[in-house]
Structure 1
Amino acid sequence: MTVALKANQFEYKALYKPNQLIYGLGQTAVITGWTVKQAIALHLHTSEYAVIGQLYSPTRGINLLIRNLLYNPHVRFLVVLNATKEDKNAGAGECLLDFFFHGFEEGVSDNGLPCWVIRSNIPGYIDIEVEKSALEQLRESVKFASAKSIADAVNQAKSYALEETLPAWGKKLEFPLSTVQPSILPGPRYGHRIEGKTIAETWVKIIHRIKTTGTIRPTGYDGQWQELIDLIAVVTDEPEDFYFPEPNYLPIDRNFLQEYISQILDDAPYQEGVKYTYGQRLRSWFGRDQIEQVIQKLIGEIDAASAVMNLWDVKDHDKGGSPCLNHIWLRVVDNELSLTATLRSNDMFAAWVANAMGLRALQQHIRDDIAKRSEYDLKMGPLITISQSAHIYDDTWSNAEQLIQKQYAAICRKIDYNDECGNFLIEVDQGKIVVTHTTMGSGEVVGSYFGKDALTLIREICAASPSIRPDHAGYLGMELNKAAECLKIGKQYVQDRK
């Protein structure tokens, strides 16, 4: 049975992300940024707001938010909360306010597609399919305010609720939303390993792997993602001051990074509406400073395998909002400090680069503190992340495709031919193909293979060294085939000679 609404009550219907919003019966939309939306709803009656929702990203979230507002013209007031360091760092609330303050103009998005660009220092885009006149009408029809605290936002919403009920500014407007449906190649779903010298290089490889072989699944956030399960990323040589390509195609810049590193290294006091920061979980959440603990652990026992930091609280099962980063492990091998981090759920397009750089900064901090307080002068080893759910949300598929087109081929051309599995020397001797397996550094002989059939030999080599690089295995297959042909026709074989 449908319940009739009172004359001064309205019904908000979201076209996009409907399950991520809190609905009321008023005329004010409250945008909470990184502050949990329930922290605002707790202090308001449903008649005092139309909808309450969080806005994390200007490039991903504003477009859908604007589309929802166009479909709900009864919303005549807007409150934007910018209360936390995360809000200021992301800039989503600032960009949204700039849309209403300064407007927009025609331009291109960061993936090169035509769009409406918000006049703001923070990049923000609206689909070009949305009519300009509709956007201008929305700007003229909605009264807006910025809030710096939960109390400020609540008071502003209550103030708007006391104003005279206004008629809807127009009809419900809906515009087509273009989507990119990826082409998927067959490949394993579980267990992947990707390695790169820098975080930037590794990120492009990760995005390519997910976009080409990832499984498309529905998310719990009103959309889809493309996902691989248990993706191991190994970064071997990230410089101390971090590598940012020029022009910068990463989803973060140096200013954002400095703020983000603080969220990992520094403790944070409890703040209403803020779930946690990683730094808070590491420094004080469990009553102990875990970063200090692992430093002392390694100084006292440099070979320890128990330098562990944990961010998961068993209470997270009950209350929701659990941290994506769950477990950090430090290990010293051959005077080299590595850091391995496990993330249960990882947005690989928008979040992994910041995650990786923040973790690298934590690794450097621990290495430096050990050096200051002991005789150990450790080298920086690799950073390893294990992303149990490594995914790309559907609203970034187009950006991911553009990234791959522009950057992946160039990265693949920068091939480092060193394979940790070693080198293989191929000769033809006494009517047989002879393959000698040596170590990469010292050239120590660790194995030999003999035969006349190239396919049999490459299968034996790959069975004995299953971690051999795919391009190395392909090269060996071609060289062994050449050796086999030379053997058949009695021609001299020389490795790497055409």
Structure 2
Amino acid sequence: MTATGKATQFEYKALHKPNQLIYGLGQTAVITGWTVKQAIAKHLQVEDYAVIGQLYSPTRGINLLVRNLLFNPHVHFLVVLNATKEDKNAGAGECLLDFFRHGVEEAVSDTGRKAWVIRSTIPGYIDIEIDINTLDKLRHSIECKEVKSIESAVSLIKSYTELQPLLPWGMPVEFPMSMVEPTVLPGSRYGHRIEGKTIAETWVKIIHRIKTTGTIRPTGYDGQWQELIDLMAIVTDEPADFYFPEPNYLPIDRPFLEEYVSQILDDASLREGLKYTYGQRLRSWFGRDQIDQVIHKLIGEIDAASAVMNLWDVKDHEKGGSPCLNHIWLRVVDRELSLTATLRSNDMFAAWPANAMGLRALQQHIRNEIYQRSEYDLKMGPLITISQSAHIYDDTWDNAERLITNQYAAIFNQRSYYDPSGNFLIDVDGKEIVVTHTTPGSGEVIKSYRGKNPLNLLREICATSPAIQPEHTGYLGIELQKASNCIKNNKSYIQDQ
């Protein structure tokens, strides 16, 4: 303590996401957005700041940030670095600034949950359990300023350090926080296949699968995630201008998508504090424009199986910050261009829809460039993503449950009865069941099965054609049993009646 009774050193204690922060001894909290926090910390002494952390999402991050600030009333200054295209696209910094400028109002979140909604054009929420008077006191007790560069952030932070230390503006306050505990059903952890016509439809199916059977594990940072390993998602018919449901239940909208696509298609210069963009890795990171390379590869060898783009740098093992998107393959089969991407780690709730749309835009770009530069007029084939760790973070479990409740049943009931494994025609010949397997398109006969025991027949069919869709397998079981019952009771059997 000084002679005036003012504290000269402080200890910041985080209730939420403590392992994702850099701690100091000062009275200024620093929010770096998408800029890595170390890019600012290396220019400062620990006495210059109370805490430094990144803020990616207004709907997931601000609520926890506010809770941490309420527990650390020695913080009197908040510096928000809002410097990059990624910051503008995410909107988290702007929404946080709007909280301090304009406050909140009682309303509902996009999932229908009662919450304090920040008065901003960018959706942001704070738990309704936090007292409104406490939120107002926080807003008026902390001086919040926006900066546009690392240099201006460092300068402002150091100017606060030169001021006389201030007494805390209140006592530490903690509000209880409710958590959703998932009910997990038994299921395979490894290897899953999910298919849908659109990215929106496929996404809902993905979230349902993870929430139903995903393993709950600790994350590499703070908290938990629910995870499936090696999840393959196949999108067959995404329209060229992208499908957004109405009302839009996706975690992204068209303006966000326009900015995000440029991060995949366009090169970017190296900037202090930013690790990379996918476009930078594809266009220039390895000294080659890989997108242009695969275009030339396919024009010269349309059946090539080596049109591959790589985003993984072996140096990523040493320096950290490795890209989630690792490899991309393009293939042309029957004049149809497909794209397959592997992602080592994939936030399926918040990130996968943007990942998928960005990759689809890349697929469309390559298809168009091949058409412009050659005689090949290719159809757009499927988009396939393979997510080695397909997970949902615990701070979105509630949103995921609401999405499933509101959307999954309707999507499931719109299912198609088409099965690429073919069709099965069931008849009775005397005392035997006869099953004829035909192709899905032309109806050409592939194979026939005969027998008296419906279970043995079903096993034989599934062993011969293991890719039959699960619902189709269930249907076959029902029809085979009906045919068997008709034989036993000397009744005629007609399929589907």
Name the TM-score, length of structure 1 as normaliser. 0.98
2: distance between equivalents of 1:119 and 1:94? Answer: 11
**Equivalence map 1:425-436=2 (5 Å):** 425-436=425-436
Partner of 1:275: 275
* Post-superposition CA distance 1:284-314 (Å, at most 9, x none): 0000000000000000000000000000000
Question: Given residue 158 of structure 1, which amino acid in structure 2 is its aligned partner?
Answer: K
Query: Structure 1: which amino acid aligns with 2:146?
Result: S
Deviation at residue 129 of structure 1 after TM alignment: 0.9
**Structure 1 residues 3-152: aligned runs within 5 Å:** 7-152=7-152
Which runs of at least 4 in structure 1 moved beyond 2 Å after TM superposition?
A: none
Number of residue pairs aligned between Structure 1 and Structure 2: 492
3-state SS of the aligned residue for 1:297? helix
Post-superposition Cα deviations, 1:445-495, rounded to whole Å, max 9, x if no partner, equal 111111111111111111111110000001111111100000111100000
Once the two structures are superposed, the pairs formed by residues 264-343 of structure 1 within 5 Å of their partners are 264-343=264-343
Secondary structure of the corresponding residue to residue 96 of structure 2: helix
| CA distance in 1: counterparts of 2:259 and 2:476, whole angstroms | 47
Looking at structure 1, the residues matched to 441 and 113 of structure 2 have their Cα atoms a distance apart, in angstroms, of 48
| Amino acid in structure 1 at the alignment position of 2:52 | I
Task: Kindly report the root-mean-square deviation, in angstroms, between the aligned alpha carbons of the 2 structures.
Answer: 0.7
* In structure 2, distance between residues paired with 1:104 and 1:163: 30
User: Helix, strand or coil for the counterpart of 1:231?
Assistant: strand
Contact 2:11/2:25 (CA < 8 Å) preserved in 1? yes
Q: How many Å apart are 1:131 and its aligned residue?
A: 1.1
1:373 is the counterpart of 2:342: no
Instruction: Give the Cα separation in 2 of the matches to 1:212 and 1:156.
Output: 48
Equivalent positions of 1:250-265 (< 5 A) are: 250-265=250-265
Q: 1:163, CA displacement in angstroms?
A: 1.6
Counterpart position of 2:357: 357
Partner residue, 1:184: 184
**Percent identical across equivalent pairs?**
77
Alpha-carbon separation, structure 2, partners of 1:7 and 1:35: 31
Partner-residue secondary structure (3-state), 1:425? strand
User: How many Å separate the matches in 1 of 2:386 and 2:393?
Assistant: 19
Counterpart-to-counterpart distance in 2, 1:125 and 1:117: 5
Measure the CA separation in 1 of the matches of 2:109 and 2:381. Answer: 37
Question: What is aligned with 2:3?
Answer: none
User: Which letter does structure 2 place at the counterpart of 1:77?
Assistant: F
Query: Which secondary structure does the structure 1 equivalent of 2:61 belong to?
Result: helix
For residues 262-301 of structure 1, what are the alpha-carbon distances to aligned partners after superposition, in whole Å with 9 as ceiling and x for unaligned? 0000000001000000000000000000000000000000
* Residues 34-88 of structure 1: CA deviation (Å, up to 9, x unaligned): 0000000011111110000000000000000000000000000000001100000
| SS at 2:403 equivalent | helix
**1:217 & 1:111 partners in 2: Cα distance?**
25
> For residues 308-346 of structure 1, what are the alpha-carbon distances to aligned partners after superposition, in whole Å with 9 as ceiling and x for unaligned?
000000000011110000000000000000000000000
For 1:100 and 1:162, locate their aligned partners in 2 and report how far apart those are by CA, in whole Å. 24
Measure the CA separation in 1 of the matches of 2:220 and 2:308.
Answer: 30
One-letter amino acid of the counterpart of residue 394, structure 2: D
Gaps of 5+ in 2: 1-5
Provide TM-score, normalisation by structure 2.
0.98
The aligned residue for residue 472 of structure 2 is 472
* One-letter amino acid matched to 2:173: L
Quick one: which amino acid aligns to residue 307 of structure 1? A
SS at match of 1:29: strand
Aligned position for 2:248: 248
Instruction: Give, in angstroms, the shift of residue 7 of structure 1.
Output: 3.5
Gaps of 5+ in 1: 1-5
Q: Report SS of the residue matched to 1:345.
A: strand
Q: Could you tell me which residue of structure 2 aligns to residue 208 of structure 1? A: 208
1:194 maps to: 194
**What's 1:153 paired with?**
153
- Cα distance in structure 1, aligned partners of 2:156 and 2:119: 25
Q: Distance in 1 between matches of 2:249 and 2:31?
A: 29
